[in-house]
Amino acid sequence: MATRAASGRVPTGNRGGGMDGDLALVLGLVLALLAVPSMVSAFSDRRTPHASAIALVIAGGLIVYAAAVHPGGYSLADIPRVFFEVLGRFWP
């Protein structure tokens, strides 16, 4: 039987060797946030934003994956909680 986390929900964990949905959501959001200044810089220098476009595609894939593996998906109100739960797992 799965134990409940402090938030009251059963953690999805990394059961099948795949990435945890919460971690995928946080990585996707951070990668998308970092790609935006890179894209603006490329456009302002009149270059094609290859690296930032690839980063946005990867970020979008991570976010879609996270929404697909999380039962019921995520709401905007869930994002800060998920971000700090993931941060708490890796920050000592």
Amino acid of residue 80: P
DSSP readout, 10-53? ----S-SSS--HHHHHHHHHHHHHHHHHHHHHHHHTT---HHHH
Report the pLDDT value the prediction gives residue 29, as an integer from 0 to 100.
Answer: 97
Segments of the chain with pLDDT less than 70: 1-17
Report the pLDDT value the prediction gives residue 1, as an integer from 0 to 100.
Answer: 45
Closest-CA residue to 20 (of 82, 92, 84): 82
Report the pLDDT value the prediction gives residue 38, as an integer from 0 to 100.
Answer: 94
Would you list the domain boundaries of the chain? Answer: 21-90
Report the pLDDT value the prediction gives residue 92, as an integer from 0 to 100.
Answer: 78
Q: Are 78 and 40 in contact (CB under 8 A)?
A: no
Report the pLDDT value the prediction gives residue 7, as an integer from 0 to 100.
Answer: 55
Report the pLDDT value the prediction gives residue 65, as an integer from 0 to 100.
Answer: 95
Report the pLDDT value the prediction gives residue 19, as an integer from 0 to 100.
Answer: 82
C-alpha to C-alpha distance for 30 and 22, rounded to whole angstroms: 12
